[in-house]
Structure 1
Amino acid sequence: MQNETLTLNTHRLISGLIAQGVHQFVISPGSRSTPVALLIAERVQQQPALRLFVDVDERSAAFFALGMAKTQQVPVALVCTSGTAAAEYLPALAEARLLHIPLIVLTTDRPLELTNIGAPQAIDQTELYGKQVKQSQRLELQQPGTTNADFIAFQSQRSVLTAMALPRGPIQLNLPLRKPLLPDLGVTPPQIKTVTVPQATVALAPTALTELAGQLQGKRVLLIAGPEEDSAYRATLLALSQKCHWPLLADSLANLRGRGAVISNFDLLFQARTTLPAALQPDVIIRFGSTPVSAPLMTWLEQQTVPLYLVGAQRQMADYSRATTHVLAADEQLLLAELLAVMPAQDATYLANWQQYAQRLQTKLTVPTELNEVTSVQVLDRLLPATSRLFISNSMPIRDVEDFYSGQAVRELYCNRGANGIDGVVSTAAGMATLGGANYLLIGDLALFHDMNGLMMLRRYQLPLTIVVINNNGGGIFSFLPQAAATDYFEDLFGTPQALDLAQVAALYQRSYQKVTTLVEFEQALQMQVQFIEVISQRADNLQLHRRLVSCLKQELSGDD
């Protein structure tokens, strides 16, 4: 072999990742990453269970990998060349860190003698991502010797295990490489010693469980399910809420709406009222999942003095309302199953009160008669197939889904609610679409503009994704914020109209396209599986529509104590 040490150690690195469950790789091409990229490609060709995606835009690639890891709940590996290419991963890694998504980032690098000395395409990549990753480690793939070889095999496995350990998160492996970079192909990978880690769960101590059950007995318990990070406990949470007649306020991203004792669209109630009527006020609150989308709900929580239990080994007291009084750092599924076994059925009056209010809210919602940003969500709720997936952009789309999506069918909803940015949305949704089946993306024109490069992955890999673009020619959410009063500067600084020709965007990436202006046209476009649907909206009209709805709800609920 001409490049034996590099070839065999790179194989050991790849084998270690595969051994611990990394079966999908996203590569952004470059020179310095040549040995890693080539040997991954060779391994994928030899092992059908592995998948390789190539994305030339590093920022898009990172969000694409994020979308796969997020929706499949598995670790995914990223590979890039040296220099600013590695820096492009940072936005997606910040999202992954906050939402506990396991990404394994392989940043190839210039060797020490070419760092900080004026060499081209070289930046200091040591701990490049700072606190946005759980751990950063350097591996020397070209250093000979059995001790280093064994360390590479061990550390690559350890990195995946660290990424998957609670709280999950991204890991960086920095790989300085000297020329020659071309590995030997056709070489049988060396055997490595694999590490076995049995699955373990964190349970409450029996005395703590007994005490918790006693605290909940006979109380008006309000369950809150924020955005879901783990689907394993979904059914058990529903079963507990139904058995105990505890109302469950389900975030749109909790994937629970439309079932059991779930209360949907509650954000509208908290927009209409800063305090709850006495009939809805809880004695105890239990929170699951990550931070809810509803800012009014979080504002209401800030005012509460009742006990609030924050559940989950990944939560780390991530509660900006600071209402948490008890942390239950236990496995959600195990805790819920234990509570389900020991808790008797409770009085149903409290749940009935909440359901009555939920019904009153529903009767005041706009019945779709014309196409706008609100009714677009209602149409998606009514027409998207059961078991389909809907990715939602941040800014106005996720807020409208939170308010007007009721869950008329069982679907999976996703959104990047860690850092809440509008960058990388298309690429993340494309990563979701690697699962196949029926996939949809609801996005605004500015978020689309931020990540149009992500559309190339749909074209390159023929991924099934229907994109619905709400085009209000700018940043619609700013019309709802105090900045709107700065009328002399508003359009330039906040409205930021781009005047995009979305038909041309769709044509560039070979997507079938239709602009719709009526409900009938929108429904027909969805039924005909048009790939790129443009919904026209006016920001000023959308603001007034939302204000009228909230005003109507305030009037409806004004007489309640």
Structure 2
Amino acid sequence: MDNQTLTLNVHRLISGLVAQGVRYFVVSPGSRSTPIALILAERVKESTTLQLYVDVDERSAAFFALGIAKTQQVPVVLLCTSGTAAAEYLPAIAEANLSHVPLVLLTTDRPLELTDIGAPQAIEQTDLYGKQVKKAWRLALQTPGPTNAAFVSFQSQRSVVAALTTPQGPVHLNLPLRKPLLPDLNVAPPQLKSLRVAPVKKELTTAELSRLKQELSGKRVLIIAGPEETQTYRTVLLTLSRQCHWPILADNLANLRGTNTVIAHYDLLLRLFPNLPTTLQPDVILRVGGTPVSARLVRWLAKQTLPVYLIGAQRQLADYSYATSEVIAADEATVLTQLAANLPQQASDYLVRWQQYERRLVASLPPVVELNEMTLIQQLDRSLPANSHLFISNSMPIRDVDDFYSGRQMRELVCNRGANGIDGVVSTAAGMATSPGQHYLLIGDLALFHDMNGLMMVRRYQLPLKIIVINNNGGGIFSFLPQAQAKAHFELLFGTPQNLDLKQVAALYQLSYQRVKTLAEFKQALADQVQFIEVLSNRRTNVEQHQALLRRLRSALQDD
């Protein structure tokens, strides 16, 4: 068979993706994806702007791509062979869908005559990902003729546009291919008719702005900033907060902590006062960003009957507190800029009261003397360089960071808070570490075990990722949950100790290793740029230390 049609259409597919801004490709090699992988490798070799990563584990590859797209705010393309290889993408796709990360999934497939008829490495791949993707299409790369050629060129560009259109998310292109699969590498790429899509940023109308200004003026306004999905509105949000003296309850993933109008330790305050002191009660709430890490904050929100405005086109009423009274489905930066330009300075007494509580809470925290799961966070806050990136695992690490990270320096904190899983954490952090700068991963031993394959990408590409593993030999969060009362089966079903030898894990992937037992050792290991730091912890002791801290805080603030 003459493979010129296949070769030209693969070029059109790649050219279309590149024309719409794709620069990163993550490939998991296999037989059926041969023509695309080979031509892609040739195109990357001849380019100064394209980057190709190869990850033989599709599950890891998808999270690796997620890490690149999430932290660099760019679309990333994944390519795999047919069969269960494509199914391995699903966990990362679910995360990308919920956290609005633009991925383009290229799954090669057996042709129609080899589907559902007993052929090897063939599963039904049409609509494989269901509702987890925004769009799913099929391209016939071996169909000749100018109409199909134009369709491939157009649809490849359309797939990136769809991934980037608000709300952003993953899209799927399924590519059935017949043998022979080898392309002609001597064929030059055909010219592409590029598609231009003008960005649209919805803003408030004059009437809408006037109404909102009236609603907010002279009121005690509380801003709740959840995990950010774009980095476009930080500066103007802080400007509005300072100008109007509105406190911001900033999730650690909002990347706002460390400025004077930001309240960082609100979750600890809600542990002590689930309904908040009367002097801290707002008249109006403005929300930006995703769902907060703090479940206590969401529970408090659920009890509110006051106006709650949810700003942002991405969220689409994703509010399980059901507290939202109005959605402002417009670009956050645009709306906040409009408000800052039209609202006069407000009274500062409400902000001052929040700041007073924040200072008292911070002053009541125990001194950082012994190394444990709480003081580790405080030491990271003191030690990590400004502008570094910290990827945080779900489960206990993200909760402790939310409680004990103050933001002494401006850093980028990242976590997979779409589906909140502990799978794919290492691979996502490795994807993050492809960007310039200094990169760190905070993870527990069980999450590490779920995704040890991701360490191969750190080794293969010599990524500058420093890994801090809290080893409490199991699932530490369950010791805080009601399941801890099921003592007869707790270790078997919830504690799940794996008894990992982390020194051997580090050695397998050729990473420098150190186990630390004191804060001084931990601080020195960070300064020495040790690649794999193990911090031993005990699950039962950790619970007792958290409980003792709450007793200390309750005693310090008992008169309120």
Residue correspondence of structure 1 range 69-88 to structure 2 within 5 A: 69-88=69-88
* Partner SS state of residue 173, structure 1: strand
The 2-side partners of 1:134 and 1:410 are apart by 34
Q: Which residue of 1 aligns with 2:184?
A: 184
* Partner SS state of residue 287, structure 2: strand
Q: Which residue of 2 aligns with 1:19?
A: 19
The 1-side partners of 2:353 and 2:4 are apart by 72
The 2-side partners of 1:282 and 1:559 are apart by 21
Per the TM alignment, residue 272 of structure 1 is displaced from its structure 2 partner at its CA by 1.3
Q: Which residue of 1 aligns with 2:520?
A: 520
Q: Which residue of 1 aligns with 2:157?
A: 157
The reply to whether residue 174 of structure 1 matches residue 208 of structure 2 is no
Q: Could you tell me which amino acid in structure 2 is paired with residue 54 of structure 1?
A: V
CA RMSD of aligned residues (A): 0.8
Q: Which residue of 1 aligns with 2:222?
A: 222
The 1-side partners of 2:161 and 2:170 are apart by 11
Q: Could you tell me which amino acid in structure 2 is paired with residue 485 of structure 1?
A: Q
Q: Which stretches of structure 1, 4 residues or more, deviate above 6 A after TM superposition?
A: none
The reply to whether residue 551 of structure 1 matches residue 548 of structure 2 is no
**Quick check: 1:5–1:143 contact (8 Å CA) kept in 2?**
yes
Describe the superposition over 1:186-222 as per-residue Cα deviations: whole angstroms up to 9, x where unpaired: 3210011111112220111110011001100000000
Describe the superposition over 1:358-413 as per-residue Cα deviations: whole angstroms up to 9, x where unpaired: 01110111211111100111110000000100000000000000000000000000
* Partner SS state of residue 232, structure 1: coil
Describe the superposition over 1:22-69 as per-residue Cα deviations: whole angstroms up to 9, x where unpaired: 110000000000001111111001111000000000000000000000
Q: Which residue of 2 aligns with 1:293?
A: 293
Q: Which residue of 2 aligns with 1:427?
A: 427
Q: Which moved more, 1:195-204 or 1:351-360?
A: 195-204
Per the TM alignment, residue 453 of structure 1 is displaced from its structure 2 partner at its CA by 0.2
* Partner SS state of residue 223, structure 2: strand
The 1-side partners of 2:428 and 2:415 are apart by 9
Q: Which residue of 2 aligns with 1:447?
A: 447
Residue correspondence of structure 1 range 118-267 to structure 2 within 5 A: 118-267=118-267
Per the TM alignment, residue 2 of structure 1 is displaced from its structure 2 partner at its CA by 4.1
The 1-side partners of 2:55 and 2:182 are apart by 21
**Quick check: 1:228–1:253 contact (8 Å CA) kept in 2?**
yes
**Quick check: 1:308–1:325 contact (8 Å CA) kept in 2?**
yes
Q: Which residue of 2 aligns with 1:416?
A: 416
The 2-side partners of 1:550 and 1:177 are apart by 61
Per the TM alignment, residue 6 of structure 1 is displaced from its structure 2 partner at its CA by 0.3
Q: Which residue of 2 aligns with 1:362?
A: 362
Q: Could you tell me which amino acid in structure 2 is paired with residue 255 of structure 1?
A: N
**Quick check: 1:422–1:450 contact (8 Å CA) kept in 2?**
yes
**Quick check: 1:247–1:354 contact (8 Å CA) kept in 2?**
yes
Q: Could you tell me which amino acid in structure 1 is paired with residue 366 of structure 2?
A: T
Per the TM alignment, residue 557 of structure 1 is displaced from its structure 2 partner at its CA by 3.0
Q: Could you tell me which amino acid in structure 1 is paired with residue 235 of structure 2?
A: A
Q: Which residue of 1 aligns with 2:335?
A: 335
Describe the superposition over 1:124-175 as per-residue Cα deviations: whole angstroms up to 9, x where unpaired: 0000000000010000000001000000000000010001000000000000
The 1-side partners of 2:301 and 2:64 are apart by 34
**Quick check: 1:436–1:463 contact (8 Å CA) kept in 2?**
no
* Partner SS state of residue 408, structure 2: coil
Q: Could you tell me which amino acid in structure 2 is paired with residue 423 of structure 1?
A: D
* Partner SS state of residue 468, structure 1: strand
Q: Could you tell me which amino acid in structure 2 is paired with residue 272 of structure 1?
A: L
The reply to whether residue 316 of structure 1 matches residue 319 of structure 2 is no
Q: Which residue of 2 aligns with 1:384?
A: 384
* Partner SS state of residue 8, structure 2: helix
Q: Could you tell me which amino acid in structure 2 is paired with residue 165 of structure 1?
A: T
**Quick check: 1:251–1:264 contact (8 Å CA) kept in 2?**
yes
Q: Could you tell me which amino acid in structure 2 is paired with residue 436 of structure 1?
A: P
The 1-side partners of 2:389 and 2:170 are apart by 24
Per the TM alignment, residue 266 of structure 1 is displaced from its structure 2 partner at its CA by 1.0
Residue correspondence of structure 1 range 265-304 to structure 2 within 5 A: 265-304=265-304
The 1-side partners of 2:455 and 2:119 are apart by 34
The 2-side partners of 1:557 and 1:280 are apart by 14
Describe the superposition over 1:331-366 as per-residue Cα deviations: whole angstroms up to 9, x where unpaired: 100101110000000000000000000011101112
The 1-side partners of 2:265 and 2:393 are apart by 18
Q: Could you tell me which amino acid in structure 2 is paired with residue 542 of structure 1?
A: N
The 2-side partners of 1:188 and 1:477 are apart by 56
The 2-side partners of 1:559 and 1:302 are apart by 26
Per the TM alignment, residue 231 of structure 1 is displaced from its structure 2 partner at its CA by 0.7
Describe the superposition over 1:421-448 as per-residue Cα deviations: whole angstroms up to 9, x where unpaired: 0000000000000003210000000000
* Partner SS state of residue 361, structure 2: helix
Residue correspondence of structure 1 range 493-508 to structure 2 within 5 A: 493-508=493-508
Unaligned runs of 5+ in 2: none
Q: Which residue of 1 aligns with 2:98?
A: 98
The 2-side partners of 1:2 and 1:47 are apart by 27
Q: Could you tell me which amino acid in structure 1 is paired with residue 109 of structure 2?
A: D
Residue correspondence of structure 1 range 465-544 to structure 2 within 5 A: 465-544=465-544
Q: Could you tell me which amino acid in structure 2 is paired with residue 97 of structure 1?
A: N
Q: Could you tell me which amino acid in structure 1 is paired with residue 231 of structure 2?
A: S
The 2-side partners of 1:447 and 1:92 are apart by 15
Q: Could you tell me which amino acid in structure 1 is paired with residue 328 of structure 2?
A: L
* Partner SS state of residue 374, structure 2: helix
Q: Which residue of 2 aligns with 1:35?
A: 35
**Quick check: 1:228–1:254 contact (8 Å CA) kept in 2?**
yes
Per the TM alignment, residue 553 of structure 1 is displaced from its structure 2 partner at its CA by 2.1
User: In percent, how many aligned pairs have the same letter?
Assistant: 68
* Partner SS state of residue 233, structure 2: helix
The 2-side partners of 1:273 and 1:500 are apart by 40
Equivalent residue pairs, number:
560
Q: Which moved more, 1:243-252 or 1:272-281?
A: 272-281
Q: Could you tell me which amino acid in structure 1 is paired with residue 358 of structure 2?
A: A
Q: Which residue of 2 aligns with 1:397?
A: 397
Q: Could you tell me which amino acid in structure 1 is paired with residue 48 of structure 2?
A: P
Q: Could you tell me which amino acid in structure 1 is paired with residue 537 of structure 2?
A: S
Per the TM alignment, residue 226 of structure 1 is displaced from its structure 2 partner at its CA by 0.3
**Quick check: 1:436–1:464 contact (8 Å CA) kept in 2?**
no
The 2-side partners of 1:509 and 1:245 are apart by 50
The 2-side partners of 1:410 and 1:320 are apart by 30
